[in-house]
């Protein structure tokens, strides 16, 4: 039993999800008998940590600052062990472009993509290259901000005329965006829980949109418009391949503690493609990691305890 | 329902370090603390036990007499018995829906409509049909054709919801001619109209227009107003005057919702109005808000790109601005929040995903310097996006700079009345289309 600071909220666009994750973690920690200090991360974070003097920090932050290595770096400086991945893994995972380059270099399948900073368009005339990109990726093309964890800013471009609008929208969230080939198929999430020498892949969750012919990215965040199936009904060899890819990405990026890997099972080819890894996936009632853990017989309190046990291994 | 991602974004607008032009807040810092203390003392000395007790569901008789005075100031004569005191004007919308709407029933509203009414309509599963506005408010010709079309399919709206004065969010006012037309339509078709009038007394220019309620004579118009904008939203008090059968049902609905509105607030507000100079306080608010509106209009002219358009409200709290259709204001808000400034994305004022390139700007809740700085910051991010779009499409925008940049606007268009003259265009609905995701 120790004094645990739960870091939640913050200023990222995923503040609300984080507040829910944090509140749920706090309840679990209290049930487990820990002494909990709740910190809504803001300008007084360092002061609060100095006052609270926690033995360990449970990071329930999502998105900018919390998931991208910033808060982790601060905790390193202050010598406070924390849950989940370390600074460098967080930096690699939160930047989809860095993560995808690492995957591609390592031979892990990820949808073909091109990424640009805003300056490429503003100062280097990259727009002229768009038709080439469009020809290579084929429509529809997914346009995403490089560092944004939620559905915000992710756009579908179905025709060349959609691309500039989609880019303007995506650049609202980040100065770097990627254009990615759209993989049409089944949307899978593989949660990873680190249990010592080898990370373990939990049962796979499949997100099934209600409107099958039109996949709206926002629907996965609207209750009732997407149903989640866990464990996903997949042939054994596909499930095994998905688990092994997820663990491969987890190790490649140097993660620790836990993570969630999102991937697509392409309908036409039956190939798996990794989209991204979330270093601090949601821990709310409807989040996928807790669902996956539950399917593996690990209740939420136990999940929190296991994550806490491995704190300090990310740095 | 709005997506949770949108709600998450809106939650960030409440951060302390953000200049929020997103709220609908009156400036309560203008109310003298001494007056507040003295009124509370009056309540404590004269009505302590009663102020701490339940009140009648329909509201305190004393307060209802004050409401009669406020309505008289807008040219309406009512009997205190006809008034139902509510917990803010918002509760009137809720009670009207509760009384009249079954799932699937049609409610007609303006396009755009008050964003706070959208979740209420959705909660009662109303099928909201939105009618276009232009510079003279709701287009009653379109209303008639919409009603005809509904009639052909055997559907009859439960009521028509409208904010005739200084519309939230559009900033426009329903013309006298259209007020008469709307009342005529209500009479001819025997349709109820919910007239939501929170801002009527906050008029900064031109003469007041008669309310729908006074034109109608209390037959088909349910009137709703509030103390939120002329005194304080913190007291959470509004009221409604409605045709008797509707009012009785709303009274029963209110009993079920909250038994009564806060007695403490009712005694406080009654004491305030009985003390006398409430007109003076409203006049002081009008002076402050008029200046803030003018500051915002000037700042918009200086900092928004020439591709943007906006309304020129004669009163109220809001300006509605519309950007080129390639800019999505929900996404733009994310970038604006980085610059620590916020507004309400236009999509919040529609039930069907339209309004994507518009925004609602509030000028009453922050001071003049914050308005200038807030609009400067939003203008900057819009200009960046306009320029980016230009480089992406190879078609540079009409100008690389804002309208206010030296000499740039004078070359192609008349300088001064430009936004006003373009009102109809601003409020024209963009074609409905499915979002890309």
CATH code where residue A262 lies = 3.30.470.20
A163 close to B (CB below 8 A): yes
Q: Which of B6, B23, B8, B7 is nearest to B318 (CA)?
A: B23
Helix (H) or strand (E) run with residue A86 in it:
none
Q: B186, B192 in Cβ contact below 8 A?
A: yes
Same domain, A37 and A99: no
What pLDDT shows up at residue B424? 43
| Residue in B1, B8, B9, B383 to test binding to A, most A beta-carbons within 10 Å | B8
Q: Which domain holds residue A282?
A: 92-109+184-309
Give alpha helix (H) positions in chain A: 15-31, 45-52, 70-78, 87-94, 96-106, 118-123, 130-137, 162-170, 236-252, 288-295, 300-309
Can you give the residue ranges of every domain in chain B?
4-24+281-427, 50-274
Give A205-235 as a 3 state SS string.
Answer: EEEEECCCCCCCHHHHHCECCEEEECCCCCC
Q: Is B33 exposed, middle or buried, given 0-12, 13-18 or 19+ CB atoms closer than 10 A?
A: exposed
> For residues B192 and B212, is the Cβ–Cβ distance under 8 A?
no
Q: A15 CB near a chain B CB, below 8 Å?
A: yes
Residue of A nearest to B329 (CA): A169
- CA A231 to chain CA centroid, nearest Å: 19
Rounded CA-CA distance B359/B343 in Å is 7
**Contact call for B437 and A218, based on CB within 8 A:** yes
Q: What is the pLDDT of residues A95-110, one digit of tens each?
A: 999 999 999 999 999 9
Q: Averaged over B123-145, what is the pLDDT?
A: 96
Residue B55 has pLDDT above 90, yes or no: yes
Q: Which residues contact B241 (CB under 8 A, 6 or more apart)?
A: B71, B78, B82, B83, B84, B213, B218, B222, B223, B247
- Burial of residue B293 (CB within 10 Å: 0-12, 13-18, 19+) is buried
CB A234 within 8 A of CB A243: no
Report the CATH number at residue A61: 3.40.50.20
Q: Residue B273 corresponds to which tokens in the numbers above? A: 């109005």
Residue of A nearest to B11 (CA): A16
pLDDT band, very low/low/confident/very high, at A280 (cuts 50, 70, 90):
very high
Cα A247-A253-A258 angle, rounded to 5 deg = 55
The string of pLDDT tens digits covering residues A68-95 is 999 999 999 999 999 999 999 999 999 9
- Six-digit token pair at B182? 């709307």
Candidate from B7, B11, B436 with C-beta closest to A166: B436
A75 plus A125 within the same structural domain: no
In a domain, residue A275? The reply is yes
Q: Do A156 and B328 touch (CB under 8 A)?
A: no
CATH number, residue A174: 3.30.1490.20
pLDDT in the model for residue B33? 93
CATH architecture of B50-274: 3-Layer(aba) Sandwich (3.40)
Is residue A218 domain-shared with residue A294, that is, in the same domain?
A: yes
CATH placement of domain B4-24+281-427: 3.90.1150.10
* ipTM value for the complex: 0.86
Which positions of A are annotated as active-site residues? 14, 150, 221, 260, 262, 276, 278, 282
**Alpha-carbon span A101 to A108, nearest angstrom:** 10
Number of domains in chain A: 3
Question: For A59, what's the count of Cα atoms within 13 Å in the CB-facing half-sphere?
Answer: 37
pTM of this structure: 0.87
pLDDT tens per residue, range B203-247: 999 999 999 999 998 899 999 999 999 999 999 999 999 999 999
Q: Is residue B166 within 8 Å of B174, Cβ to Cβ?
A: no
Residue A315, in any domain of the structure: no
pLDDT in tens, A156-212: 899 999 999 999 999 999 999 999 999 999 999 999 999 877 899 999 999 987 765
Angstroms from B434 CA to nearest CA on chain A: 10
> What is the rounded distance in angstroms from the CA atom of residue B126 to the CA atom of residue B146?
16
Q: How confident is the model at residue B427 (pLDDT cuts 50, 70, 90)?
A: low
A215 and A100 housed in the same domain? yes
Q: Classify residue A60: in a domain, yes or no.
A: yes
pLDDT over 60 (residue A224)? no
- Distance (Å, rounded) from C-alpha B17 to C-alpha B19? 7
For residue A18, give how far its alpha carbon lies from the nearest alpha carbon of chain B (Å): 10
DSSP per-residue string spanning B320-368 = EEE--TT--HHHHHHHHHHTTEE-EEGGGG-SSS--TTEEEEE-SSS-H
CA distance B432 to B437: 15
- Last residue of one domain, picked from the residues A150, A166, A181: A181
> Between the CA of residue B19 and those of B272, B340, B365, B378, what are the distances in Å?
31, 6, 10, 10
Q: What residues in B contact A170, CB-CB < 8 Å? A: 331
Let me know if residue A314 belongs to a domain: no
In 3-state terms chain B splits into helix, strand, coil percentages (rounded to 5) of: 45, 15, 40
- Residue range A225-254, pLDDT digits in tens: 678 999 999 999 999 999 999 999 999 999
Edge-to-edge strand ranges of the sheet holding B318-322: B309-310, B318-322, B358-362, B344-345
Q: Taking residues B33-57, what's their average pLDDT?
A: 95
| Pair (A249, A102) in one structural domain | yes
Whether residues A102 and A215 share a domain: the answer is: yes
| Three-state secondary structure call for residue A141 | strand
| Half-sphere exposure (Cβ direction) of A112: Cα atoms closer than 13 Å | 10
How far is it, in rounded angstroms, from Cα B47 to Cα B271?
Answer: 10
């Amino acid at each position: 039993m120790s004094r645990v600071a739960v870091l939640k909220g913050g200023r990222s666009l995923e503040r609300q999800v984080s507040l829910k994750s944090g509140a749920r973690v706090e309840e679990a920690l209290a049930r487990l008998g820990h002494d909990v200090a709740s910190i809504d991360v803001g300008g007084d974070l360092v002061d609060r940590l100095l006052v609270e003097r926690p033995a360990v920090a449970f990071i329930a932050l999502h998105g900018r600052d919390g998931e991208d290595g910033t808060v982790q770096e601060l905790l390193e400086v202050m010598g406070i062990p924390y849950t989940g991945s370390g600074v460098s893994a967080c930096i690699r995972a939160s930047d989809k472009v860095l993560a995808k380059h690492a995957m591609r270099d390592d031979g892990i399948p990820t949808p073909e993509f091109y990424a640009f900073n805003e300056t490429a368009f503003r100062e280097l005339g990259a727009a002229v290259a768009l038709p080439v990109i469009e020809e290579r990726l084929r429509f529809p093309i997914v346009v995403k901000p490089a560092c944004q964890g939620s559905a915000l800013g992710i756009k579908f471009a179905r025709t060349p005329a959609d691309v500039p609008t989609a880019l303007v929208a995506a650049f609202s969230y980040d100065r770097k965006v990627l254009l990615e080939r759209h993989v049409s198929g089944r949307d899978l999430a593989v949660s990873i829980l680190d249990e010592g020498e080898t990370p373990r892949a939990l049962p796979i969750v499949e997100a099934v949109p209600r409107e099958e012919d039109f996949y709206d990215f926002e629907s996965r965040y609207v209750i009732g418009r997407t149903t989640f199936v866990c464990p996903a009904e997949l042939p054994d060899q596909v499930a095994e391949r998905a688990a092994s890819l997820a663990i491969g990405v987890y190790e490649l990026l140097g993660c620790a503690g836990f993570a969630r890997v999102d991937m697509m099972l392409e309908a036409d080819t039956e190939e798996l493609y990794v989209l991204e890894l979330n270093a601090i996936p949601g821990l709310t009632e409807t989040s996928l990691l807790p669902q996956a853990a539950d399917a593996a017989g690990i209740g939420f309190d136990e999940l929190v305890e296991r994550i806490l046990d491995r704190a300090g291994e990310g740095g | 329902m709005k997506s949770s991602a949108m709600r998450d974004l809106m939650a960030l607008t409440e951060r302390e370090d953000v200049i929020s032009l997103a709220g609908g807040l009156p400036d309560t810092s203008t109310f003298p603390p001494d007056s507040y203390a003295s009124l509370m003392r009056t309540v404590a000395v004269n009505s302590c036990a009663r102020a701490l007790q339940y009140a009648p569901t329909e509201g305190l008789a004393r307060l209802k007499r004050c409401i009669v005075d406020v309505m008289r100031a807008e040219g309406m004569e009512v009997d205190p018995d006809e008034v139902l005191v509510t917990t803010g004007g918002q509760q009137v919308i809720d009670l009207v829906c509760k009384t009249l709407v079954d799932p699937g029933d049609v409610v007609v509203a303006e396009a755009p409509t008050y964003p706070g009414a959208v979740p209420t309509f959705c909660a009662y599963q109303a099928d909201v049909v939105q009618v276009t506005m232009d510079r003279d408010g709701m287009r009653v010709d379109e209303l008639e054709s919409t009603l005809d079309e509904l009639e052909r399919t055997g559907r009859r709206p439960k009521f028509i919801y409208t904010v005739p004065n200084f519309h939230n969010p559009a900033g426009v006012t329903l013309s006298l001619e259209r007020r008469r037309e709307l009342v005529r339509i209500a009479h001819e078709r025997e349709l109820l109209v919910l007239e939501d009038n929170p801002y009527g007394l906050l008029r900064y220019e031109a003469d007041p227009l008669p309310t729908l309620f006074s034109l109608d004579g209390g037959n088909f118009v349910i009137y709703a107003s509030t103390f939120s904008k002329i005194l304080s939203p913190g007291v959470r008090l509004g009221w409604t005057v409605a045709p008797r059968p509707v009012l009785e049902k709303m009274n029963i609905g209110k009993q079920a919702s909250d038994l009564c509105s806060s007695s403490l607030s009712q005694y406080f507000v009654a004491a305030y109005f009985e003390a006398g100079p409430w007109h003076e306080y409203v006049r002081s608010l009008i002076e402050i808000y008029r200046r803030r509106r003018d500051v915002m209009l000037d700042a918009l002219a200086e900092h928004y790109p020439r591709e943007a358009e906006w309304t020129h409200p004669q009163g109220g709290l809001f300006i509605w601005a519309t950007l080129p259709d390639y800019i999505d204001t929900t996404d733009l808000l994310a970038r604006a929040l980085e610059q620590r400034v916020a507004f309400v994305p236009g999509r919040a004022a529609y039930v069907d995903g339209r309004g994507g390139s518009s925004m609602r700007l509030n000028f009453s809740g922050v001071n003049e310097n914050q308005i200038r700085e807030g609009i400067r910051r939003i203008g900057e991010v819009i200009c960046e996006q306009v320029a980016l779009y230009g480089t992406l499409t190879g078609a540079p925008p009409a100008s690389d700079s804002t309208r206010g940049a030296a000499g740039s606007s004078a070359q192609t268009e008349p300088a001064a009345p430009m936004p006003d003259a373009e009102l109809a265009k601003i409020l024209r609905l963009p074609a409905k289309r499915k979002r890309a995701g």
